[in-house]
Amino acid sequence: MDDLDAMYQEIILDAAKARNGEGRLERFQGESFQVNTTCGDEVNLQVELSSDGKRIERIGWTGEGCSISRASIGIMIDMLEGRSVREAADLYDVFRALMDSRGHALDEEIEDALGDATAFAGVAKFPMRIKCALLGWMAMRDATDKAVAALSPAASEGGVNV
């Protein structure tokens, strides 16, 4: 294992232990439950948006999973809280590109955008683990879509936990 791989492994293990953002939000507009049927990892993630629906205020989650899925969720939360919904969607696309790279180098601009999430480049080499890394991101994307819909003027009031 080279120094870069060791550093990435340490980032993932530290983030998994920290379990950043763990805990159910009391106030949220969107929620998503996702399961990785390959290994059994699961996450229930809630998103609270700003009153105008344009910014992610808070993300909370509960669930069980491997170090990779827990670390990915925690790093994702660090990256996305406080960002616009558009920025979050763009970062989802960038992270997805990292997972689709199968461990090949991405351009420097993409790596800079991902920050600590670049640590998952090694995970992308293992197709069975990609789903672990993407689980929280998929839940965030779904919960955010639901939150935006719930806050839109055309949305009905029923079923929204605000």
Enumerate the domain spans of the chain: 3-150
Q: Between 3.90.79.10, 3.30.1600.10, 3.90.1010.10, 3.40.190.10, what CATH number should domain 3-150 receive?
A: 3.90.1010.10
Q: Which tens digit of pLDDT belongs to each residue from 55-86?
A: 999 999 999 999 999 999 999 999 999 999 99
Global pTM value: 0.87
Query: Is-contact 46 143, C-beta < 8 A?
Result: yes
